[in-house]
A and B are shown apart, each in its own frame.
Chain A
Amino acid sequence: MGGRDATMVLLDENGIRCDGRKIDEPRKIVIKAGGLKNADGSAYIEFGDNKILVGVFGPRDVHPKHMSNTDTGILRVRYHMEPFSVGERKRPAPSRREIEISKVIKEALEPAVMLEKFPRTAVDVFIEVLQADGGTRCAALTAASVALADAGIPMRDMVAAIASGKVADTIVLDVNNEEDQAGQADMPIGYMPSLKKITLLQLDGVLTPEEYKKCVDVGVKGCEVVYELQKKALHDKYFGNRSN
C-alpha cells in the first residue's frame, strides 16, 4: 500500500510520533451509534483517518437453512473494503485477507453475544470499510460491538479493540498505517473490559518475551479507553440530547 518514505522519522527525540502523537496516545476516535434506517442496529466509527460503517441484522431466519443450529444462534460477519478505500484500487471481490479478518472478528464477537438465546437464527454483521488507514480490523470490531448493542441483542460485554506495536524500538499504542508499514511489530487486540477476556489477538513482527507482555498490557489498557467511548456513543443515542 502506497510508497514508503525512507526519510520519515517514526519517533523523534521528544517521544513524538510521525503524526504528532505521544507513544501511549490513540488517534482521534469518534463513534456514533445508529444512523442506518433499515438495519436493526448500526454504528459509524472514525478512528484517525479510518471511516467504517457497520450494520447488524437479526436475530433472523437463516438462509441457507442447513447453516442453522438447533442449539444456538449463529453469528455471521462480513468485513469488506470498498475499492476506493485504499491508495491503489482494491478489487471488489473478497480477498483472502478480508475472509481471514471476517473470521477473526466473528470469533472475537462470539464470546460477547448471547447467541444461545436465539437457536436456529442468525445475527448478521456487515462491516464496510469506506476509508482505510491502518488498524481497520480493530476499529471495525469496536464499531461492530456498538452496532450489536444498538440492535438490542443481549450481550455479556462489548468488545473494545485497538492495536499496540513496536515502532523505533518502542512499544506504542494504536499503530497507524505508516507505522504498520515501517514499524517492527503490530499487535491488534480485542478485549472485553468487564469480563477481562482477550477475544482477538494477532501479531506480526519480532518481539522479545518482555516486549510481548508489555505489548499485551499496553493494548489491554488502550481497549479500556476505547470501551468508554463505546459506552458514550450508546449513551449519547439513548440518553443524550442529540437527535437521531
Chain B
Amino acid sequence: MATVSVIDELKKAQILELLEQGKRVDGRALDEPREIKIEINAIPKANGSARVYLGDTDVLCGVKIQPDRPFPDVGDKGMFMCTAELLPLSHPTVETGPPRDDVIELARVVDRGIRESHMVDVSQLVIEKDKSVVGVFADVVAIDYDGNYFDACSYAATAALLTSKTPTWEMVDDQPTVVEGGEKQLPTSTIPVSVTMGKIGNHIVVDPNGDEWASMDCRVTITTDSDGHIVALQKGGSDGFTQDEINQCGDLSIKVGAKIREQLKSAQQESQ
C-alpha cells in the first residue's frame, strides 16, 4: 500500500514545491476531498452493498446479516464487525497470504470509526437473549488504488450499512427462523464519516491521492458522527504533528465530514 519507488521520490519534491505555493498536484484546494461516487446495491445478493469511488480509488463493501451466537458476556447485544482486504488485482505490490500490518491497521481503523459512533444499534439485534443474536458483517474489498483507502473503505461500509435490509428472525424449536415478509431497514442511529489528512512538509492536505500518500510524512484519520462529535482517531506515519495541527485537523474533519455526510444521506434516500 505504501511502497515508495524512485518516481515517488521525484514526485515528492514536486508536490512539496507546489504546496509551498498553496497548490496541489491535482489542482484541488488543500481542504478539498476528491469527487466521491457512491453506487448503492452493487451486489444484490448481499443484504446491503456499495461500490465507492474516491477519485480513482475504488472499493466495494457487501453487508451480510445472519443469526449468530452472542459473545458470552454480552448476550443482550447483536454483533457488528467490519473488515477490509486489499485484493491482489488492486496493485502490483499486494500479495496473497496473511495480511500485512498496514492492512490490519486499515481494517481496524475502519471498524473502529463505525463501531465507536454506535451507528449500528446492536441492542435492537437480539433474537433471544444469551441464545441467538443478529450479526452484521460489513466486508470491504479494495479493487483499485489511488491513495486513501481509509476513507474510501469507511464510506463504502457506511453507505452499505445505511441501505441494508435485514430479515427478521424468531425462535422456532430453539432455532432462529426467518419470519416471512419481516424484512426491514437495518436500525442505524448516526452517520459516521472519516476524514484522512496527510502532512507533507508543514502542510495539511485532506484526502491525499496516491502520489500524495507516497509523499506524506504522517497522517491522521478522524471520524465524526452526525452530532459533529469526534468519535475515533488514528495517527499514522513516521513523523509527528504539533498540538495546533491536531486541533486544526479536528476542526477540518468536522467541516469536511459534514459535506460528505450529506452525500451519504442522499445515497440512502435515493435507495428507498
A residues bordering B, Cβ < 8 Å?
3-4, 96-97, 99-100, 102-104, 107-108, 110-111, 187, 192, 195-209, 212-213, 216-217, 220
Q: A3-B73, A204-B112, A209-B250 are in contact. Are A197 and B102 (CB under 8 A)?
A: no
**Chain B residues near A205 (CB-CB < 8 A):** 116, 231-232
Q: Is the CB of A216 within 8 A of B247?
A: yes
Chain B interfacial positions (CB closer than 8 Å to A):
73, 101-102, 104-105, 107-108, 112, 115-117, 218, 220, 225, 228-243, 246-247, 250-251, 254
State which of B112, B235, B247 has its C-beta within 8 Å of the C-beta of A104: B235
CB pair A203–B240 under 8 Å, yes or no, is no
B238: contacting residue among A102, A111, A196, A206, CB under 8 A:
A111
Rounded to whole Å, the gap between the CB of B194 and the closest CB of chain A is: 12
Give 22 pairs: A residue, B residue, CB < 8 Å, sorted on A.
A99-B104, A100-B104, A100-B108, A102-B101, A104-B234, A104-B235, A107-B236, A187-B233, A192-B240, A196-B243, A198-B246, A199-B239, A201-B246, A202-B233, A203-B230, A203-B234, A204-B115, A207-B230, A208-B229, A209-B228, A209-B229, A216-B243
Inter-chain contact B105/A100, CB cutoff 8 Å: yes
Contact present for A99 and B233 (CB under 8 Å): no
Residues of A within 8 A of B220 (CB): 201
Q: Given A107-B218, A198-B242, A199-B239: A206 and B105 within 8 A (CB)?
A: no
Q: A4 CA to B77 CA in the complex, in Å?
A: 15
Residues of chain A contacted by B104 (CB below 8 angstroms): 96, 99-100, 103
- Alpha-carbon gap, A97 to B105, bound state (A): 9
By secondary structure, the B interface counts as mixed
Q: Is the CB of A198 within 8 A of B243?
A: yes
Q: Which residue of A lies closest to B112 (CB)?
A: A204
Q: Are A198 and B235 in touch, CB under 8 angstroms? A: yes
Tell me the dominant secondary structure on chain A's binding face: mixed
Cβ-closest chain A residue relative to B98: A99
Contact of A111 among B107, B230, B234, B240 (CB under 8 A): B240
Residue pair B238, A110 in contact (C-beta under 8 Å): yes
Inter-chain CA distance A103–B234, complex, in Å, is 12
Q: Which 8 A-B pairs have the closest CB atoms?
A: A197-B240, A203-B233, A199-B240, A201-B235, A110-B238, A103-B101, A204-B116, A212-B230
Assess the B233–A196 pair: CB atoms within 8 A.
Answer: no
Q: By the criterion CB–CB under 8 Å, are B231 and A206 in contact?
A: yes
CB nearest neighbor in A for B117: A206
